[in-house]
C-alpha cells in the first residue's frame, strides 16, 4: 500500500465522519479554509490542534494524524470498517430532522431494511433512484465529496460502478443488464449471475429453496449491457471465487 499524505488521510477521516470542512473548523476554532489547507498539505495543524482533531474525528483519525505512513493494522483494511461515508451522512441527516427509520421509509417510499442497511454500511453504494428518494424525503442533497468518495470506492476500472441492492425487495432490484453477486448473512459471496434484466433474473431465483435469508441476505451488481462482456465478467468472477460461491459450484439454478 502506497503511503498516503497526512492531508489525504485527514480528509478521508472527515468525509467518513460526514463532516464538512466548515463544521470541523468550527470545532477547532479555525476556518473551513484552514481545514482545506491542512488537507491539501499547504499548512499543518500544531500539536494542540492535532489533539482536537483526534477528539473530533475519532481513533481512526488519531492513527492517521500521527504519521504519514499507514500502520500495519490500517494496511490490513481497518479504514473500511463500519458505516460508509453515505451511511454516516444519512444517519446524521435523519436524526437532524428528528425522523425515525420508519418515518423516513414511509416518506421516501423505501423499505426500513434498506435504510438500516445503508446506515450500518451493509449497503455502501445504493442505486441512484434510492439516493434520489432519500434526498427528496430529507429535503437536502448528499455532499458532492461524499458521493465522490462512495463512487471511487465502488468503481471497477474499465467496467463500471458496483452498486448494492436488496435481493428480497422487488422494487430495489435493478431492471438493467449486468452481473450480480448474492451474499449470505456473513457477507460471503454465494452466487454470481448475469442477465439482460437483473430484476427478471432475480425473480427466477425467488422460488428456489436456497433463495432465502440467511443464505441470501444482500446483493450487488455492475451494469453491463453487452451480453458477451457480461458472460466474460461472470465467468471470471465464478472462477476467481472458486469454492466460495457455493451455489454456483454445485450448479444450482444454472
Would the pLDDT of 71 be above 70? no
In a domain, 124, yes or no: yes
The pLDDT of 222-247, averaged and rounded, is 82
pLDDT tens digit sequence for 18-61:
788 888 888 889 998 998 898 888 998 888 888 888 777 764 44
User: What is d(CA 172, CA 168) in angstroms, rounded to the nearest whole number?
Assistant: 8
pLDDT tens digit sequence for 171-222:
889 999 999 999 987 778 889 999 999 999 999 998 888 999 888 988 999 9
pLDDT tens digit sequence for 121-151:
888 888 888 899 999 999 999 998 888 888 8
138 and 172 in a common domain: no
Cell representation of residue 51: 489533539
Helices (H), 121-163: 128-138, 144-154
In a domain, 104, yes or no: yes
Torsion of CA 239, 174, 117, 10, to 10 degrees: 80
Domain CATH for 31: 1.10.260.40
In a domain, 254, yes or no: no
121 and 133 in a common domain: yes
161 and 149 in a common domain: no
Mean pLDDT of the chain: 81
Amino acid at each position: 500500500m502506497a503511503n498516503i499524505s497526512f492531508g489525504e488521510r485527514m480528509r478521508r477521516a472527515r468525509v467518513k465522519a460526514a463532516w464538512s470542512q466548515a463544521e470541523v473548523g468550527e470545532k477547532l476554532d479555525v476556518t473551513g479554509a484552514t481545514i482545506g489547507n491542512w488537507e491539501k498539505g499547504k499548512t499543518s495543524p500544531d500539536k494542540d490542534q492535532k489533539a482536537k482533531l483526534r477528539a473530533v474525528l475519532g481513533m481512526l483519525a488519531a492513527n492517521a494524524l500521527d504519521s504519514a505512513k499507514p500502520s500495519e493494522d490500517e494496511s490490513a483494511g481497518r479504514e473500511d470498517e463500519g458505516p460508509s461515508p453515505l451511511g454516516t451522512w444519512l444517519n446524521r441527516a435523519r436524526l437532524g430532522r428528528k425522523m425515525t427509520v420508519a418515518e423516513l421509509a414511509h416518506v421516501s417510499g423505501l423499505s426500513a431494511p434498506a435504510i438500516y442497511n445503508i446506515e450500518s454500511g451493509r449497503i455502501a453504494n445504493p442505486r441512484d433512484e434510492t439516493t434520489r428518494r432519500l434526498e427528496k424525503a430529507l429535503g437536502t442533497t448528499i455532499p458532492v465529496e461524499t458521493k465522490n468518495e462512495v463512487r471511487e470506492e465502488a468503481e471497477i476500472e474499465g467496467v463500471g460502478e458496483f452498486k448494492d441492492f436488496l435481493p428480497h425487495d422487488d422494487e430495489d432490484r435493478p431492471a438493467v443488464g449486468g452481473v450480480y453477486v448474492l451474499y449470505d448473512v456473513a457477507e460471503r459471496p454465494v452466487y454470481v449471475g448475469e442477465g439482460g434484466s437483473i430484476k427478471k433474473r432475480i425473480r427466477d431465483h425467488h422460488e428456489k429453496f436456497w433463495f432465502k435469508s440467511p443464505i441470501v441476505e444482500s446483493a450487488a451488481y455492475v451494469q453491463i449491457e453487452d451480453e458477451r462482456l457480461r458472460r466474460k465478467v461472470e465467468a471470471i468472477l465464478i472462477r476467481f471465487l472458486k469454492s466460495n460461491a457455493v451455489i454456483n459450484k454445485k450448479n444450482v439454478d444454472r
